[in-house]
């Protein structure tokens, strides 16, 4: 039976895709993340995860539009790679944010249809008292012990 991807595996694969340079195929990705996951994942297991699929599609589109880079000193190269990775991550976060905004608008519409008002939706969560029922006794005991 195939090993399921953990959340940390997924995040490591997505980070790898954010920093990807050059030609990108599912086979190349499976080979590149073998050491991260512990065994070679299949294309199907990677593409079934929406976060990995989204990052793959974005990295694939970026690799198609890449311009040939002139060799630069290592410090500039590292900085450039970091900037490229951060820009890629930023685009993914913008996409995720727009999807969350769409979800919020859908919730807002459905709440208005059900007759819920903003004041009802913004009502704070109830406070959970995680103290024991003998909290007053314990505080009295603490003050008695501190006197000597």
In a domain, 28, yes or no: yes
In a domain, 147, yes or no: no
In a domain, 94, yes or no: yes
Directed axis angle between helix 74-113 and helix 7-18, to 10°?
120
30 vs 37: CA distance, rounded Å: 10
In a domain, 20, yes or no: yes
77 vs 23: CA distance, rounded Å: 18
In a domain, 90, yes or no: yes
In a domain, 51, yes or no: yes
Cβ atoms of 33 and 13 within 8 Å: the answer is yes
Residue matched to tokens 């603490």: 142
The whole model's pTM is what?
0.51
Domain total for the chain? 1
In a domain, 29, yes or no: yes
Structure confidence by residue, pLDDT tens digits, 26-79: 999 999 999 888 889 999 999 999 999 999 998 888 877 765 565 666 788 888
The length of the chain is: 148
User: Cα angle vertex 62, ends 60, 63, to 5°?
Assistant: 65
In a domain, 122, yes or no: no
Q: Which domain holds residue 54?
A: 7-116
Q: Name the DSSP letter for residue 107.
A: H
Structure confidence by residue, pLDDT tens digits, 86-131: 999 999 999 999 999 999 999 999 999 999 988 888 889 888 877 7
Longest CA pairwise span in the chain (Å): 78
């Amino acid at each position: 039976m195939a090993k399921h991807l953990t959340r940390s595996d997924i995040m490591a694969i997505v980070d790898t895709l954010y920093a990807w340079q050059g030609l990108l195929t599912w086979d190349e990705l499976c080979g590149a993340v073998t050491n991260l996951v512990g065994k070679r994942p299949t294309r199907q297991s990677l593409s079934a995860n929406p976060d990995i699929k989204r990052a793959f599609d974005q990295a694939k589109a970026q690799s198609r539009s890449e311009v040939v880079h002139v060799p630069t000193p290592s410090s500039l190269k590292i900085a450039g790679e970091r900037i490229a990775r951060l820009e890629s991550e930023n685009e993914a976060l913008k996409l995720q944010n727009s999807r969350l905004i769409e979800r919020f608008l859908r919730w807002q519409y459905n709440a208005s249809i059900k007759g819920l008002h903003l004041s009802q939706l913004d009502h704070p969560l109830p406070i959970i008292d995680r103290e024991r029922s003998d909290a007053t006794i314990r505080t009295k005991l603490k003050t008695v012990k501190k006197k000597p």
